[in-house]
Structure 1
Amino acid sequence: MRPLWVAAWACALVLAWCARPAGAAWCIARSGASEKTLQRALDYACSPAGSADCAPIMPSGLCYLPNTLAAHASYAFNSVFQRAREAPGACDFAGTATVTLTDPSQ
C-alpha cells in the first residue's frame, strides 16, 4: 500500500508543478555573491554554452538600465532559466543565483 501512496504523492507533485502558470518563478542574482563570481556567471550565461538572450542588456538594449552587474546577471540568469522551462538545477550559476516567486520587475 505504501508504494501506491508514494506514487500518488509524486504524481500530485508533478501535476502541481506542471499546472503552475508560465513565468511563475524567476531566477535572479543571489545577494551577497561576489562581483568576480557574478561576472563570471554572467559571462557564462551570455556565452553560446549558456544560451541566454543578452541583447536586451547591451548598451542599446531595452533592459540595459539599471546598468548594474546584479540587474544584468539577473536578466541573463532568468533568460536561461525560462528557456529551460524553470527546470530544477537551471538556476544555480555556481551558487550566484536563486529562484524567487516574486516578480523582480515589480
Structure 2
Amino acid sequence: MQCSKDVLIFCRRRFTPGTSWCVVRSDASNQALQTALDYACAAGADCSPIQSSGLCFLPNTIQAHASYAFNSYYQRMAMAPGACDFAGTATVAKTDPSYGSCMYPSSPSTAGGIPAPTPPATVINNPNVPMTPLTTIPINGDGSTGLNNPGLTPPVPTTDESKASLDYIVATSSMSVMLLLVLSFILHPMWIS
C-alpha cells in the first residue's frame, strides 16, 4: 500500500508489518463475550481504559470492551500462540482496531509488559512437619484445559455451595456423629471388662 505524506502517520499505525491485534469474533454471543471479558480482566488485561472514565469506554458495547480487553491480554502475553482465543470468541487481526483517542496496544511494551508471576508464599520449614512440594496452579485456577486452549477459559466452579448442599452436609455429619455415639454406648461395656 502506498501512503501519501498527509496520511503517513495514520498509515504506519494501521499497517505495521508483523503486528497483530486480538479482537472479538463477529459471531460470538454477548453471553460468551461477557464471560470471556470478565476472565481477561481478571487474568491480567488492563481494563481501566474501558471503565466509564476511560478513553475506550465509548462505544459502550460488550463487543468494543471485549476487543480492548482481549487485545490487552494478548499483547501482555507477548502475542503467544493461543493467547487470542477466549473460548472461541476472539480472533487475530492484522489491522489496528484503534479509533479516535482509544489506542489499542500493539506490543507487550505498550500494553504494560508481561505481568510478573506472583511469588509463592514464604514457607518456614518446621522439622516436625513433613514438607509437601509446592504445586503450580494453571492460569484458570481449576486445572481444566478449556475448549481449545489450556488456561484461557474461565474457571468452572467445582463445588456446590447452595443451601441444599449445605443441608445435606449437615445432615450427613449429624448422622455420623449419632452413629458414633450409639456405637460407643453399645461397645462401652466391652471396653470396661
Normalising by structure 2, we get a TM-score of: 0.42
Q: Which residue of 59, 80, 85 corresponds with 1:92?
A: 85
Deviation of 1:103 after TM superposition, in Å, equals 1.1
Consecutive unaligned residues of structure 1, counting only runs of 5 or more, are 1-20
Query: Deviation per CA, 1:37-58, whole angstroms, max 9, x where unpaired?
Result: 01000000011xx200001100
Mapped partners of 1:59, 1:22: distance in 2: 33
1:26 aligns with 2:17: no
Q: Which residue of 50, 56, 71 corresponds with 1:57?
A: 50
2:31 maps to 36
Q: As a proportion of its length, which structure holds more helix?
A: 1
1:46 match: secondary structure: helix
Query: Deviation per CA, 1:9-51, whole angstroms, max 9, x where unpaired?
Result: xxxxxxxxxxxx697100001101011001000000011xx20
1:75 aligns with 2:68: yes
Judged with a 3 Å threshold, the aligned counterparts in structure 2 of structure 1 residues 44 and 23 are, in CA distance, closer, same or farther, namely: farther
Higher relative contact order (Cα pairs below 8 Å, separated by 6+ residues): 1
Superposition CA RMSD, Å: 1.6
Number of aligned residues: 84
Structure 1 segments, 4+ long, off by >2 Å, are none
Q: Which has the larger radius of gyration?
A: 2
Superposed, 1:11-22 pairs within 5 Å as none
Consecutive unaligned residues of structure 2, counting only runs of 5 or more, are 1-15, 100-193
Mapped partners of 1:33, 1:69: distance in 2: 11
Mapped partners of 1:92, 1:84: distance in 2: 12
Query: Deviation per CA, 1:43-91, whole angstroms, max 9, x where unpaired?
Result: 00011xx200001100011110111100000000000000011111000
